[in-house]
Chains A and B, each alone.
Chain A
């Protein structure tokens, strides 16, 4: 799933918008008082195997409420849903009719180690972005870790093609970005936003995305058409390495738009909280 999200926010995009401070999620700890009954104990002669999981000494509904203690449930703020759904539809077509076929051909000609190397290469170029954002959040240990990773991978890892820092020094990448930094300083995500080409985001994370692109060395290594070619390569490479995450969601979810919106919101909240 992460790879999918990385793909969708892989690049920076100019977003005109003001960061809303409205919380896109609210704490909603429900503690309902239901009546006591054993739901599946109802007489059912042709009970199938599923129902055998309900034993006589099962917890009742009320007793199961302890599972909800210390839980936060999301309530996503999505006032732009009609527009978002339109853009979601556009991105979906873009994915299936352009990105996916290209990625399939790409995967067919490219050996996997080479694809992993290209992924590492672009990830290494984004290292300063992670370092700056870790620093801005006062995580100086993480910032130092990222600096070491960048130094090691750029030199021993041959320009970032190998993640030597992870493979040989156990220095693992920790995802940081400007959206998380804004969140760290108490700025809520604001309304949920689906960006054309870039996928799920929020007002806050959209602004973050723009800032991120300016801290990414990719932006300074190439200009104009070359820059977008590099971005296209990075995107196709990510899709080629992905194990059909989006297809899985499309296949399984009752409403893929809602599933991705809620998953994205949780994913971002979790990153900000850590």
Chain B
């Protein structure tokens, strides 16, 4: 119902930011984001708005669950560094 894309913030100017994913940059708005975002952060973007700053620790936790269950090699690279 609500498509949301993880994008990385490249530039912030007041309530407006530029965010990118896979080489595509978009102008996004930060009005409803509940915590301060900084350049380099990943946010979930819905209808042009950042609605959530992705919690890196929580993301790692989910992957760690897979690791603990033997689904992932412990040293597997989990993505690009921000």
B and A form one assembly? no
Question: Which residues of B come within 8 Å of A, CB atoms?
Answer: none
Question: Which residues of A come within 8 Å of B, CB atoms?
Answer: none
